[in-house]
Amino acid sequence: MLADRFHRKRVTARALIHLVAVLFMLTSVIPRGYGDNIVLPEMGDPSGNFLSPTAERRLGQAFFRSIRSTEPVITDPLLITYIQSLGARLVNSSGESSRHFHFFLIENSQLNAFAGPGGYIGVFSGLVMSTESESELASVIAHEIAHVTQNHLVRTFDAMQRLSLPMAALAIAAVVLGAATSNPDAGLAAATGIQAGMMQQQINFTRYHEEEADRLGIQTLAKADFDPQAMSIFFGRMGKSSRLYDSGKLPEFLRTHPVTSNRIADARGRAKDYPYRQRPDSLGYHLTRSTLRVSSYKNPKAAVTNFSKTLSGKRYRNEEAERYGYVLALTADKQYRKAMKQLDLLLRQRPEQIDYMIAQANLLEKSGRADKGLLVLRDGIELYPGNYALNIHYAQALLGQGQAAKALELLEEQSRLRPYEEQIYKLMARAAGEAGNKSLAHQYLSEYHYQAGDLEPAIQQLQVAMNDSSAGYYRNAQMAARMQQFRRELAEMKRREK
């Protein structure tokens, strides 16, 4: 029920069959069992023998587009803001603050998290909801950050030098996800999962790499003022739950991050080197979990019933977040008056909470008072000028009120700060079109499709934009260069599919 969730694009069976062959070739290069002791060159050393920072950044961007094309990456601005702020806090405590990272959520009930090239770290909504504290969630993200800082995954690119950039990105995406879970062909997905699992065991997630990621992750947790024991607590709970699964049906996180009693004991022992701190969870953590819980219900009435019962029975970890979830559920069920009454209780307590201001503006708009909702968002931006979530919702509200030019100006400023957030380009395309600039609208729509991992529509939209004589010399040159890039990447993808 997330309003801004993305539709999955299915990868063709032909491309996945080729991918399985590629992964089989790569895994066959390394003898079984050899991965635990293999000594790989340091990818981060000054010599830069295998992958330059620029090449890694390009690979990371292509990797993220591959993820977007197959998985429902969450685009809710509030959820994006939370996961990225949590990730940034951990990065700043890891000693790698100068390195690029991009944290994102995937709407999927599976327990999974992964690190890709270029610092792209994905967390499944199911894993967020399975954590029992913010420190536990932080421990998983800190572990994945360590995989990036120690270049565990990028080292595999050495074995993929013969692949084009898009295909290498697609292969790595399949590896870190463990299987093509969004493909409807179960047999093909299983075959891909087997090959990807072999790849992970032999190269990406060797025992040494996992131990190193645990050690550095715990160190980062402590420096970020989270509970250093949280990693062993979370892994311990995962280890117990793994006994309920057949070996072939383990959650993806447990397959890519195998939990053993020795590993749990090691994590517990390392955590003792740091002072114990019982850190309260942030309100943002609880609000995020409530939002994800609401979106996990297929029927909003079921969500309303659940939150109503937990509130009346006082069965919650945080009453405020539980009430917020109730507001979202009531809104989804179009019970606007009842939702506003519940939201008023929250606003009295925290009138300047961004989540509540956005919920209020949304309810006002749905209740036929969009002009008042616009004022709420405008006041919010005056309090928090650079806030991404407020700016996106304000731009959407401006569009709803026919103020396209003002919305476009606001969105273009946000796109400069967040050049890889595809929903910004979609909104800019709408704003440019409603403002009367059709060529610019097609150009932004092209960028939206490209960031979403869909090359053919990106090329089609860009061609329409280039055919418009109103575009000036600079924009035409810019679009021509972009067209060359798009066509080159599409040609590489098609060659590999044959």
Catalytic residue numbers read 144, 214
From the list 10, 39, 29, the residue with the least C-alpha distance to 195 is: 29
Residue found under tokens 């977007």:
68
183 DSSP 8-state letter:
-
Secondary structure of residue 175 in the 3-state scheme = helix
Q: Annotate 358-373 with DSSP letters as a single string.
A: HHHHHHHHHTT-HHHH
Question: What single letter denotes the amino acid at residue 483?
Answer: M
The secondary structure element, H or E, covering residue 356 is: helix 354-366
From the list 110, 121, 138, 115, the residue with the least C-alpha distance to 233 is: 138
Pull the structure tokens for residue 60: 């990371």
Question: What single letter denotes the amino acid at residue 388?
Answer: Y
Contact assessment for residue 267 and residue 217, using Cβ atoms and an 8 Å cutoff: no
Residue found under tokens 């967040």:
418
Spatial neighbors of 405 by CB under 8 A, at least 6 apart, are 431, 435
Return the C-alpha torsion angle 32, 34, 35, 38, nearest 10. Answer: -160
End-to-end CA distance of the chain: 38
Pull the structure tokens for residue 143: 């572990």
* Helix boundaries (H) for 224-276: 230-242, 252-256, 261-271
Strand-pairing partners, residue 73, are 106
Pull the structure tokens for residue 114: 């992964």
- Chain CA centroid to CA 52, Å: 24
How far apart (Å, rounded) are the C-alpha atoms in residues 207 and 218? 17
Contact assessment for residue 365 and residue 400, using Cβ atoms and an 8 Å cutoff: yes
CA distance readout (Å), 184 to 180, 190, 351:
9, 11, 46
